């Protein structure tokens, strides 16, 4: 699965959490916080690529780091950062 996350449309962490939970089928217990995000991303068993486009907002940088840390732990997860358009 390839999921494009456009920072121009998803400016706040709460929106990113909502999209990821829905698109990646996170469990109902998903707490929509960075610890829960890491846990769910490291538990993915299907090849998944998260493509971060226009990901410049300072408030999203910590979330990006969590995604990249999870990708380092999970061989099924790839995080790609595309240049700002």
pLDDT category at 85 given cuts 50, 70, 90 is low
pLDDT greater than 90 at residue 25: yes
pLDDT in tens, 42-71: 999 999 999 999 988 777 899 999 999 999
Contact at 8 Å (CB) between 68 and 38? Answer: no
**Model-wide pTM > 0.85:** yes
pLDDT greater than 80 at residue 10: yes
- How far apart CA 46 and CA 26 sit, in angstroms, is 13
Q: For the chain, which domains are there? A: 2-81 (3.30.370.10)
The per-residue pLDDT for 11 is: 85
């Amino acid at each position: 699965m390839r999921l494009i996350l456009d920072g121009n449309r998803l400016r706040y962490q709460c929106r990113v959490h909502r999209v990821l939970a829905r698109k990646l089928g996170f469990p109902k217990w998903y707490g929509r916080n960075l610890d829960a995000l890491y846990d769910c991303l490291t538990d993915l068993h299907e090849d998944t690529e998260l493509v971060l486009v226009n990901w410049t907002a300072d408030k999203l940088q910590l979330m990006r780091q969590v995604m990249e840390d999870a990708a380092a732990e999970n061989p099924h997860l790839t995080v790609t950062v595309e240049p700002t358009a």
